[in-house]
Structure 1
């Protein structure tokens, strides 16, 4: 059922609100080539509302390329990209944003010396008064930012403080709340915990779970299987541009996810090489059959 709500500038926005069992975003055999370089190939991915889909992979696995395709920065060169079941080919990130797909990158795209409320509305400021002398509606932006942050469980004593004075985890949370406010249905988080300590990572993970509770489909890009397993509902592991693992939480353990992420075959080979080095004890390391044991894939299942 389609509902209507008033946007930031008084426009009527449509909330498509897909069915619970229908994927908002889906990739079918998607891939991307840059000339002769094949960065991504044969990737299948489904993002459902109220679900956290974790995409893991080492450097060069294809995570950044996957983000760029879904966020509209680059176009796929093979396979299909669907939003609400309809094939799409975004030419700009603005088109993806209009479809409800928001991306929070590691650098967060904030201005450190600007106040929190100003960063919350950066590029989409509220205004008041007749044209051509319209001016910023500062009071309304402050109240709205405070309300939306509190809705996400983020309580800041002073919205006038420069956002650069907040911790890394708090800045991530402000960016998440901003995306939720501006109508995101799918939230892509690019390594949000990569540069954070244990405590601040926990704060970010809490708000990822809060975004899921609000009905968003979350794509959590990370190289940390422990963080992924804490909040994830579905796990996809990329290796050298292809999907190595595609499994739901009930079908994969943390140990199996870690082995896939770390590269079980490579670790088995490394253990064999280390056993040839004097002074290195490999007796406590996992057996090769444990490192290379396959995990059942859920590819093709909804």
Structure 2
């Protein structure tokens, strides 16, 4: 595969090697982003491999959105390295990232609610037939292809002509995931896909995240819900105030420990002390500061940072 379209600060123009399961598709090494005097991200290292779900967790303002923008080509990093298939890149636009196989599914899903499901599936990349200049949409082929690709992901819809806005939130997320897979995504970035969904619909989305992983994609699952992350995640990275607070594989961290890091370990321990003074508040489940220090893995910010 070739990374196309290099401008003055575009991506490298080289052929990418075939995925062998060991070479990371996407890798950040001590990457960071500054906006003038404001350092939004610093010293962040992240590795995304084929067939693996990398969960990036963090509270509001932790730097998740900035991380997404760097990997998806919307913004460029100002420190560290960004590598695709082992080669440094500096994308000039989201189109260059997409040409490299990096697709992003945002919370708004980039769909048109009143358009049919099949039309949204091919939105911006419609199939056509006939000679130029009288080419026309190949509706029958688009419907067949959309139906087949959705079924390949385990998504069965009774009517592809129904407006996509009539689907549930989980179904719309699933269609967006299947669309990205069909158009050649090797890395799928999911921006808070379960944030506005109920328990059942969140389960539907998590099911298709696992399906994308099983098809060999590298998935970056952005979320603030450690329980959802732990259901499907293979590696967990917790961002805190723009730096990496935790980077651990699934066998290195438990759900309780992940939740404590997500909640802010030291602050949570301090909160326990304060709440203990309030009558009727059960603080037994909250951690002590010394417990967090004893069990916490080494923060990823200690690697490769200056």
Question: What TM-score range do you get, normalising by the shorter chain?
Answer: over 0.9
Aligned residue in 2 for 1:115 = 116
Please give the residue correspondences for 1:1-302 in structure 2 after superposition, counting only pairs within 5 Å: 17-283=18-284, 285-297=286-298, 299=300
* Cα pair 1:248 1:298 within 8 Å, conserved: no
Secondary structure of the residue aligned to 1:107 is coil
Q: How does the TM-score come out when normalised to structure 2? A: 0.91
* Cα pair 1:188 1:221 within 8 Å, conserved: yes
Secondary structure of the residue aligned to 1:96 is helix
Q: 1:222 to 1:145 in 2, by over 3 A?
A: same
Please, which moves more after superposition, 110-119 or 269-278? 269-278
Instruction: Give the CA deviation at 1:271.
Output: 1.2
| CA deviation map 1:37-85 (0-9, x unaligned) | 0000000000000000000000000000000000000000000000000
Aligned residue in 2 for 1:6 = none
* Cα pair 2:245 2:299 within 8 Å, conserved: no
Secondary structure of the residue aligned to 2:97 is helix
* Cα pair 1:31 1:39 within 8 Å, conserved: yes
| CA deviation map 1:115-134 (0-9, x unaligned) | 00000000000000000000
Instruction: Give the CA deviation at 1:293.
Output: 3.8
CA RMSD, Structure 1 to Structure 2 (Å):
1.8
Paired with 1:156 and 1:284, the residues of 2 have a C-alpha distance of: 43
Q: 1:214 to 1:15 in 2, by over 3 A?
A: farther
Q: How does the TM-score come out when normalised to structure 1? A: 0.92
Q: 1:16 to 1:139 in 2, by over 3 A?
A: farther
Secondary structure of the residue aligned to 1:238 is strand
Secondary structure of the residue aligned to 1:60 is coil
| CA deviation map 1:167-193 (0-9, x unaligned) | 000000000000000000000000000
| CA deviation map 1:92-143 (0-9, x unaligned) | 0000000000000000010000000000000000000000000000000000
Pairs aligned (count): 290
* Cα pair 1:267 1:291 within 8 Å, conserved: no
| CA deviation map 1:258-287 (0-9, x unaligned) | 000001100111111222335545345433
Paired with 2:95 and 2:55, the residues of 1 have a C-alpha distance of: 24
Unaligned stretches of 5+ in structure 1?
Answer: 3-13
Q: 1:24 to 1:211 in 2, by over 3 A?
A: same
Instruction: Give the CA deviation at 1:295.
Output: 2.2
Secondary structure of the residue aligned to 1:118 is helix
* Cα pair 1:47 1:53 within 8 Å, conserved: yes
* Cα pair 2:24 2:50 within 8 Å, conserved: yes
